[in-house]
Amino acid sequence: MALPLALDLRGRAVVAVGGGPVSARRVTAFVAEGAQVTVIAPWLCEDLVDLVAEDAIRWIARDYAGSADLAGARLVHTATGDPSTDDAVAADSELLGLWCVHAADAERTPAAVLARTSVDLPDGRVTVAVHASADPRRAVAVRDAIATSLTTGSLPLQPQRPRTGSGWVALVGGGPGHEDLMTLRARQLLATADVVVVDRLAPRGLLSTLPTTVRVIDVGKAPQRHAVPQDQINAILVEEALVGHGVVRLKGGDPYVLGRGGEERLACEAHGIPVEVVPGVTSAISVPAAAGIPVTHRGLARGFTVVTGHEDLPDLPTGRDHTLVLLMGVAALRTTTTDLLAAGRDPECPVAIVERGWLPDQRVTVGTVATIADIADQVGVENPAVIVIGDVVTVSPHFPGA
């Protein structure tokens, strides 16, 4: 029988007897928890030598000399490789009333360092430890399975007690729309959020998996319809965090690629709110990829430019070997192609429009700078869509003759 306990080792003395790899693993963990560690061993493995060089531990370079070596310790760990020495350390610890981890004998040790896994969240760390009697490998196997669930955010990570003080904001890039293309960190933060402020093009399928206690605030913007202005979105993030909530701002693509994430971060930090930015797979690259279009390709394009179709195009390279990626450009497509032709872009330069990239109803429409506006009108191209202009379009299986 065993009672798992969590020990706060910060500032407390720990004695580790033995200088090999087993001792190094445990000493590294003790140091990470803030313990004051003394290692007693005639020699040290490389990892422990590094800790001595960093002044992270104290080293007594000799063999264990008896119970006096344990004076002042709150916890003892022994892993010398010599059974008689380890047994002696364990016996001395018992006489002194100290807990001792006997690393060489899982069945006899009165204390054990459990197989652990942790996830760091904006409001603290969650640690899960597994104990499997005298079968540490079983504990590790179970630990690894739990670690996978923690990493993917499939375990409930929301706090069950009211948060104290100010909350936090995470600007999370949701990728091009399919939930499988989100980062693991994005999934973790969603699992711990109190409030999710979501965009129209974010991966909304995940919202139905959140606990019913999570409030979802929809601030999605559609072409020609900004139901919630950006200043109001900033105010929502600040207000929710200041009352102590953990807030995930779930965006499509990447929050820092034409996503106004920088404005939201500055607005929050102006009120002292901690902000974490989680990058996402930007649609500027991933949506063309969904149609088999690389934005660069040896022999076809060595560079690319990403612009929004809402504003006049800046001066850009006009060669077909420089890829132009237009976001939010459907409404102004005819004006855009007219401007490109006037600037010297080849009328026969290939163009692809990828609608609803990565979703089941994805559609790809191809043409040239001279023809794409008419073709788009004929087939009824709609947002959300990404427009790719350049010779890289010919690599796509959707291009005639590819």
- Each residue's pLDDT tens digit, 336-382: 999 999 999 999 999 999 999 998 999 999 999 999 999 999 999 99
- Each residue's pLDDT tens digit, 6-23: 899 999 999 999 999 999
Q: What is the 3-state secondary structure (H, E, C) of 61-106?
A: CCCCCCHHHHCCCCEEEECCCCHHHHHHHHHHHHHHCCEEEECCCC
Token pair for residue 151?
């990493």
46 & 83 share domain: yes
Q: Which of 281, 308, 335 is the last residue of a domain?
A: 281
Task: Say if 160 falls within a structural domain.
Answer: no
CATH code of 33's domain: 3.40.50.720
Task: Say if 351 falls within a structural domain.
Answer: yes
User: Region 54-61: what's the mean pLDDT?
Assistant: 97
Q: Is the pLDDT of residue 37 over 90?
A: yes
- Each residue's pLDDT tens digit, 76-135: 999 999 999 999 999 999 999 999 999 988 778 899 888 889 888 998 889 899 988 878
Query: For residue 349, what are the contacts with CB-CB under 8 A and spacing of at least 6?
Result: 320, 368, 369, 389, 390, 391
255 & 298 share domain: no
At residue 205 the predicted structure's pLDDT band, cuts being 50, 70 and 90, is confident
298 & 373 share domain: yes
Q: Is the pLDDT of residue 225 over 70?
A: no
pTM of the predicted model as reported, rounded to 2 decimal places: 0.78
Q: Which of 229, 246, 281 is the last residue of a domain?
A: 281
108 & 137 share domain: no
Q: Is the pLDDT of residue 224 over 60?
A: no
Domain span at residue 232 reads: 168-281
Which is catalytic among the residues 199, 251, 254, 391?
A: 199
CATH code of 215's domain: 3.40.1010.10
CATH code of 335's domain: 3.30.950.10
Token pair for residue 271?
């009120």
The least confident of 46-60, 99-113, 273-287, 321-335 is 99-113
Q: Are 72 and 12 in contact (CB under 8 A)?
A: no
- Residue found under tokens 């500027």: 284
Task: Say if 402 falls within a structural domain.
Answer: no
In DSSP terms, 76 is beta-bridged to 15, 100
At residue 3 the predicted structure's pLDDT band, cuts being 50, 70 and 90, is confident
- Percentage of the chain lying above the pLDDT 90 cut: 73
Task: Say if 127 falls within a structural domain.
Answer: yes
**Number of neighbours of residue 111 by Cβ within 10 angstroms:** 17
**Integer Cα distance of 140 and 397 in angstroms:** 46
270 & 367 share domain: no
The yes-or-no answer on residue 123 being catalytic is no
Which stretches of 279-321 are assigned E, i.e. beta strand? 303-308
Average pLDDT in the chain? 92
Q: How many domains does the chain have?
A: 4
Task: Say if 1 falls within a structural domain.
Answer: no
Query: At residue 52, what is the residue type?
Result: V
Model pLDDT, residue 402 = 65
- Each residue's pLDDT tens digit, 243-269: 999 999 999 999 999 889 999 999 999
Model pLDDT, residue 88 = 96
The yes-or-no answer on residue 199 being catalytic is yes
136 & 182 share domain: no
Q: Which of 281, 315, 338 is the last residue of a domain?
A: 281
**Integer Cα distance of 365 and 211 in angstroms:** 40
172 & 277 share domain: yes
